Chain A
Amino acid sequence: MPDIPVSTAPVLTVQDFKSDIKPIWCPGCGDFSVLAALTKAFAELGRPRESIALISGIGCSSRLPAYTSVYGFHGVHGRALALAAGVKLARPDLTVIAAGGDGDGLSIGGNHFLHACRRNVDMTYILMDNQVYGMTKGQASPTTAPDWCESKLTPEGPGISPIAPLPLALAAGVNFFARGFAGNPNELARLITAGITHPGFAVIHVLSPCVTFRAEQRAWKQAVHALDGAPATDPVAAMTRFAGDDGFTTGILYAGSNPPFMPERQSAMLAADFEPGFVVERQGVG
């Protein structure tokens, strides 16, 4: 592994963490606030840009890496969490963030979401949930209500109940779960910072309205309400406490203490040291 020269970074502003590429998002999209909150969190954390890797899948929200100035990987649909785990496991020194939407993360990427919670690699997952597939122009996603009839794919509505990310993550063993609203970027920045600094796998479930296909989500402004009381710290208690969660409770909801997954490495041997094991000792027979 090459030894990586890491510079002692000067104090960086929020703008320093943004690239010069203009987002393709629709004006008013909630993801602008997520970009603002994320870059604000990076500035507050004060870690050098080159020590951060932002991994995304496919979808509107997964365009995020190109608009930042950290290392990024814009992967394929649904696999951001697996790719991010590979980055973190190979390079524990890096701060690894995965980002994606409700389709990327809970539909095609659902299996990886379960196992990311279970494996508990020390990385943060920003799940931007707008309850719609925006990039493909308005289909229902796993978090869409069963009676939403605006999608041409399901004109009668999906007809099946949506996935609730919080109970699902808790059941799969997530170690940190916070929920934020794009309309409150300052609080979202604090939640992201908390998720990054919390050891193990941290999910930041962001309610990020889709201004184009779900304009009615502007009402989320009135629906969100802060968690009353401290975050849950025991997984079983959290499951019962949030079983009936309405999906609009914001703040740090659960902060667990599972040790992050990181196989320890020893450098005791070289590849060539394994060859003698295959050598045949010729034995003279009396």
Chain B
Amino acid sequence: MDIERIGERAGAAIVPVGGPWSPPRTEPGGAESVSLAIIGSGGAGAMRAGEILLDVAAKTGFFGLMTRAMGPQIRGGEAAALLRIATAPVSSLDDHFDLLIALDWANFSRFAAELPLAATSLVITDQDEGEVPVAIGESGALVAALAMKKLARAVPGGRANMIALGAAAALIGLPAALVTEVLARQLGRKGEAVLAASAGALALGEKAAASLPPMRRLAAPPAAAGTRWNISGNQATGLGALKGGVSFVAAYPITPATEVLEWMAPALAKTGGMLVQAEDELAAINMVIGASFAGAPALTATSGPGLALMIEALGLAVASETPLVVVDVMRGGPSTGIPTKFEQSDLDIAVHGLHGDAPHLVLAPNSIGDCLTTTQWAVVLAETLQTPAIVLSDQALGQSRAVIAPPPPPPTLPGRLIATAAEGAGYQRYALTARGVSPMAIPGTSGTTYVADGLEHSARGAPSAQASDHHAQLDKRARKLETFDYGEPWADLEGEGEIALLTWGSATGPAREAMRRARAAGLAVRLISLRLLLPAQPARMAAALAGVRRLLVVEQSHGRQFHKFLRANYDLPAEVAVISRPGPLPIRPADILARLATWE
């Protein structure tokens, strides 16, 4: 094994890539958090190796996070598992990767920017799989060679990704025996031969690690920390929908939302519900409206292009006051954009997309675990307020997995206000009630037949073009959302101080870590992450911003959609700065800390 050195790095000063706030990385007892990436072409098994590593870390007692960087190709494109293993829950990837294992460099250029390295990083390359790219050298990282492909051939059926897995686990300090055990369970059903080949390759990888340069190793796993889950955002979204009471889903596949629907299909079938595949998004959303009208809480999941197709029907749901939830797992836009990467650029269409005055709900989970809580909340809110709700998740949450504590449940709500047969002859579906919500008759109930209508209508539901009916129904549909008390979950408020980070959705991850690092270094910073975007909550926001002199808005869009939304709906402090960067590069904690530092 020859170790190709690019510059002597041993003992070099640790130069953090990001801002001045990253605490010095001296870890006598081991690192609280280690970040690594396993990259290669699609089908090389980088993703599988990453998933097993996260599973092993979880079983060892650690917390962690794994996101995927993938090209649109089914096979052959770029594929990377980006992991962070830690002794405590983590909300975002770190500023850089401590370890990068490249099964091959074939597609590295396509996502080099998503793999920041530091002077302390170790890069493992397979000298038979292409030259080390120039960018790696420039990072100052230490490069070591490991002929993974050749080594794998020493084991019949062995694969390079298992060599990489063995090496990675050994390097960062995960128990080898557990890796083999997890592998056995995951590959068990594929038969003894595959298992033996993988276990063999794994052992070779572990052994090879001994001859590789040392790197940061994990501290001991935390003492038992209560129940922990290993779950993806899309799975959490599906589970939250189910827990909210959804019993009908109409599905049309679209990256990166399909996994929500694929998780729900068998689950609904076993819980008395149903998932039906539709011919297009127009059919999907209208089937959802039909099922909800018939009494079944209903939902669909899509991404930007699908949401655009569904907008007209969402207007029908607003006008006919039919509850439903649409989960928009956002991706790079506009148009086809970048289906496999994330962005927060559907806020405008979610808030303003419906034609006419069409009040509705817009919510957004701000972590992988929160996908469950926010989706469940959206379902019961939609049912209680008889309105469509758009849930803005994104690829960074949906297709990432995390080892987390079980997410908290949302508030319990009364659910749908159902008209009883007693309403009788005088039943008015769209009665002008004080709170705005009016009893909804479920088909099959005698005496309360009515026609739900997208056409403007009177209190009874008869078509009407009269100004009086139009104004009364517009007021009713707005009143029912604006007078409702959404309570604490409207936003996550953490920390105090005259400086505030105001963000939403997946950008909350790095913002939360930046806030924690800043506070650890003595700078008082508070975090405000909006979960409920529409309707706006002026009173609650004023209270949350009380005492704030400087505001840093953090979002991942090119057109500063969130910042404009804030200015349209809220009074902001005098001094406001904005970090607004489109996908696919995630904003890192260090980027936020660097901006805060300029306010010193």
- Do A and B come into direct contact in the complex, CB within 8 Å? yes
A→B interface (CB under 8 Å): 1-2, 4-7, 9, 21, 48-51, 53, 55, 63, 65-66, 69-76, 78-79, 82-91, 93-94, 111-112, 114-115, 263, 265-272, 274-275, 278-283, 285-286
Partner of B290, one of A73, A274, A278: A73
Of residues 255 to 303 in B, which have CB atoms within 8 Å of A's CB atoms? 267, 269-274, 276, 278-280, 282-284, 286-296, 298
Q: Which residues on B sit within 8 Å (CB–CB) of A270?
A: 271
Contact in complex: A76, B313 (CB < 8 Å): yes
Contact of A73 among B274, B283, B293 (CB under 8 A): B293
Residue among B293, B403, B451 with the most chain A CB within 10 A? B451
Task: For the complex, give the distance between the alpha carbons of A112 and B451 in Å.
Answer: 22
CA distance A84 to B441 in the complex (A): 17
Given contacts A6-B444, A50-B446, A66-B451, is CB(A279)–CB(B227) below 8 Å? Answer: yes
**B449 engages A90 (CB within 8 Å):** no
Neighbour of B229 across the interface among A94, A265, A266, A280, CB < 8 A: A280
Secondary structure class of chain B's binding surface, majority of residues: mixed
Q: Given A280-B228, A285-B178, is A76 in contact with B312 using a C-beta cutoff of 8 Å?
A: yes
B452 interface residue, CB < 8 Å from A? yes
Given contacts A49-B449, A50-B443, A286-B177, A75 and B316 within 8 Å (CB-CB)? yes
Q: Are A86 and B447 in contact (CB under 8 A)?
A: no
Contact A73 B287 (CB under 8 A): no
B504 in contact (CB, < 8 A): no
Between-chain CB contacts (< 8 Å), 13 pairs? A4-B443, A50-B443, A53-B443, A73-B452, A74-B451, A76-B316, A85-B287, A112-B283, A115-B278, A265-B269, A268-B270, A269-B270, A283-B178
Beta-carbon contact of B59 and A90 below 8 Å: no
The closest CB in chain B to the CB of A262 belongs to B274
Beyond the given pairs A79-B283, A86-B298, A275-B406, 9 more chain A to chain B contacts, judged by CB atoms under 8 angstroms and listed by A's residue number, are A2-B442, A75-B454, A83-B289, A85-B287, A86-B287, A86-B292, A86-B293, A90-B292, A91-B295
Beyond A82-B287, A85-B290, whether A5 also contacts B446 by CB under 8 A is yes
| Complex-state Cα separation, A51 to B452, whole angstroms | 15
Residues of B within 8 A of A71 (CB): 441, 443, 449-451
When the two chains form the complex, which single residue of A7, A74, A88, A275 contacts B452, counting CB atoms closer than 8 Å? A74
On whether A271 and B452 interact (CB within 8 A), knowing A85-B287, A91-B443, the answer reads no
A283 touches B60 (CB 8 A): yes
- Using Cβ atoms and an 8 Å threshold, which residues of chain B touch A267? 271-272
Interface centre among A72, A83, A268 (most CB of B within 10 A): A83
Q: How far apart are the CA atoms of A76 and B418 in the complex, in Å?
A: 24
Q: Which 3 A-B pairs have the closest CB atoms?
A: A86-B290, A86-B287, A72-B451
Q: In the bound complex, do residue A65 and residue B286 qualify as a contact, i.e. CB atoms below 8 Å apart?
A: no
Would you call B293 and A87 a contact (CB within 8 A)? yes
Using A55-B290, A271-B271 as known contacts, say yes or no to A72 and B452 having CB atoms under 8 A apart. Answer: yes
